[in-house]
Amino acid sequence: MDRCELMNRISEVEFVCVELNLYLDTHPGDTAARNDYYSYSTLLRELITQYEAEYGPLMGFGNSPTNVGCWVCSDWPWEKN
């Protein structure tokens, strides 16, 4: 996956996680949805880790511990595609 495809995939999986989280707020006993949420949140973490390893941190303020100090060296937000 190139940078744009990886970022799109992260956005898609993040959307699914948010929607499942909202669903689970009103349906806490749905074990299938809970399992899906755990699967997608694990996938999201893997995709973010892959992106940060290849292109630098997505978030600052301590949210990307593997890339401490790289924030200043990476592209600025307006330089990202």
CA 44 to chain centre: 4
Helix or strand holding residue 49 (H, E): helix 31-55
Region 60-64 average pLDDT:
57
Count of the separate structural domains present in the chain = 1
Residues 6+ apart with CB under 8 A from 37: 17, 20, 21, 24
pLDDT at 63: 55
The whole domain housing 24 covers: 3-79
Give the burial class of 40: count Cβ atoms within 10 A of its Cβ; 0-12 exposed, 13-18 middle, 19 or more buried.
Answer: buried
- What distance in Å separates the CA atoms of residue 51 and residue 47, rounded to the nearest whole number? 6
Total-model pTM: 0.74
pLDDT band at 69 (very low <50, low <70, confident <90, very high): low
